[in-house]
């Protein structure tokens, strides 16, 4: 196992966070509330705490990706650079998005909202893979 690229971990978390700001802000235009279930709205309370929790969790996610890439090794990743995207995108498609959809099915979240959120997680994981590719 090689060393974890901690600079790439921090940059990947920042990129994923920046993508979230754009994705859930101007790109899909959801303001302060979003319809989650029939007749129920969830408001965005305390933006500072949401940002703090999101930052910590994105940092954890990026650290785990960094650890995964370190386990694969720099030589293998140099020979097979597509692994950055296959592994990061594969995690989103095989674990994160299905878990999200299972939770959303229980909450009766509209399909449109579920697709927007799933799209974000796939884009975020691929963006983090790109950061590790560029800084690896």
Q: What is the pLDDT of residues 81-100, one digit of tens each?
A: 999 999 999 999 999 999 99
Percent pLDDT > 70 in the chain is 86
- Reported as a pLDDT band with limits 50, 70 and 90, residue 57 is very high
Q: Cβ atoms within 10 A of the Cβ of 130, count?
A: 15
Measured between alpha carbons, how far is residue 129 from residues 15, 34, 99 in Å? 11, 29, 20
Radius of gyration in angstroms for the set of CA atoms belonging to the chain, rounded to a whole number: 16
Residue range 55-73: mean pLDDT, rounded: 96
First to last CA, the chain: 14
């Amino acid at each position: 196992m090689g060393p974890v690229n901690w600079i790439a971990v921090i940059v990947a978390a920042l990129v994923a966070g920046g993508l979230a700001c754009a994705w859930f802000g101007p790109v899909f235009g959801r303001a302060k509330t979003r319809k989650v279930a029939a007749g129920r709205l969830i408001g965005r309370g305390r933006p500072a705490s949401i940002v703090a929790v999101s930052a910590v969790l994105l940092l954890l996610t990026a650290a785990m990706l960094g650890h995964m890439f370190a386990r694969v090794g720099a030589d293998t990743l140099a020979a097979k650079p597509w692994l950055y995207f296959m592994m990061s995108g594969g995690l989103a498609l095989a674990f994160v998005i299905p878990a999200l959809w299972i939770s959303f099915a229980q909450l009766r979240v509209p399909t449109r909202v579920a697709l927007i959120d799933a799209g974000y997680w796939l884009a975020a994981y691929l963006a983090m893979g790109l950061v590790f590719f560029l800084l690896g």
